[in-house]
Structure 1
Amino acid sequence: MNIWAGAVAGAVVAGGTAIALMASSSSIVLTAASLQVGRARIERRFVGGAEAFRGEDVRRVRGPELDARAFMNFRASVGPVVRIQIIDPVDPTPYWLTSTRHPERIVEVLNAG
């Protein structure tokens, strides 16, 4: 009986963990009207250029060069980041810095206009 109780408890914990991980993962949604990173959203007209970073450059932009006013969205399991300039004159946030598996693609789309 204890083996079955342990198996059921293990399945419940594994299922709960999987659901929590899926719910906590943030997505990047880019449309003609807006950019959304996780729960944060901004109109596209306030989005400037973007830069991709990989490897040692990630440590540099996430560490010594990081502006404390920036919006940050990091995932430990995703190494590369993209820095997206915010050009809203009333927004004190200079840029968004977010983890992504495809930073070059986001840079390509944002910098294309």
Structure 2
Amino acid sequence: MSQSPSPTPAPTVAPGAYAERLTVPWWWWLGGLAVAGLLGAELWLGATGPRAWLPFVLLLPATVAALAWLGRIRVAVADGELRVDDARLPVRHVADVVPLDAAGRREVLGVGADPLAFVVQRPWIGGAVQVVLDDPADPTPFWVVSSRHPVELAAALLAARDAG
């Protein structure tokens, strides 16, 4: 009689766990490197000797660094907090979360926007979430955070709040 192997425990995921990086679109990398290459070639044509390669040595790494810097922001829900880059919001202060499409984000951040709101917005990302706060010690009425998956981020925030 053979013994069946004991089932491996399923990995436990904290309620509301979510992580996303707000990177630039892939085609920005192609366009940015192509523009840097063309500009380097233009400058290369006017120089001789080792100086001719200097534009490529400077422009291509600078382009890579700039695009990596633009896509550095991380959004995560973990350990009872919403983390947006280096900002942290305990989920116990979340009153409500509203997923926004591009039109909704435009309306929230438009002419009637609240100047006290905390905003991390990336124009190349259409969606966002509006996190309404319930913290009497904080004058910030809400956060608006860009997200490629606003419904999932909103669900993760609400699940983390309800679990805490």
TM range (shorter): 0.7 to 0.9
CA 1:32 to 1:9, structure 2 compared with 1: closer, same or farther past 3 Å? closer
Pairwise CA distance, 1:19: 4.0
What residue in structure 1 maps to residue 52 of structure 2? 3
Q: Where does residue 120 of structure 2 map in the other structure?
A: 73
Residue correspondence of structure 1 range 6-85 to structure 2 within 5 A = 6-22=55-71, 25-85=72-132
Secondary structure at the counterpart of residue 82 of structure 1: strand
Higher strand content, 1 or 2: 1
Which residue of structure 2 lines up, in the alignment, with residue 106 of structure 1?
A: 153
**TM-score if structure 1 supplies the norm length?**
0.83
Residue segments in structure 2 that go unaligned for 5+ positions in a row: 1-48
Q: Aligned-residue CA RMSD in angstroms?
A: 1.9
Give the partner amino acid of 2:153: I
Aligned equivalents of 2:109, 2:144: Cα separation in 1:
8
Alpha-carbon deviation of 1:53?
1.0
Deviations 1:32-91 (CA, angstroms, capped at 9, x unpaired): 421111221122211222001113222111113422221111112112110001111211
SS in 2 for 1:67: coil
Relative to structure 1, the CA distance from residue 76 to residue 55 in structure 2 (aligned partners, 3 Å threshold; closer, same or farther) is closer
C-alpha change, 1:4 and 1:57, in structure 2 (3 Å) is same
Q: How does the TM-score come out when normalised to structure 2?
A: 0.60
Higher relative contact order (CA 8 A, sep 6+): 2
2:4 is matched with which residue?
Answer: none
Runs of 4+ in 1 over 6 A off after TM superposition: none
Task: State how many pairs are aligned.
Answer: 111
Greater gyration radius = 2
- Aligned-pair identity in percent equals 28
Structure 1 unpaired stretches of 5+: none
Classify 1:110/1:13 alpha carbon distance in 2 versus 1 (closer, same or farther; 3 Å).
closer
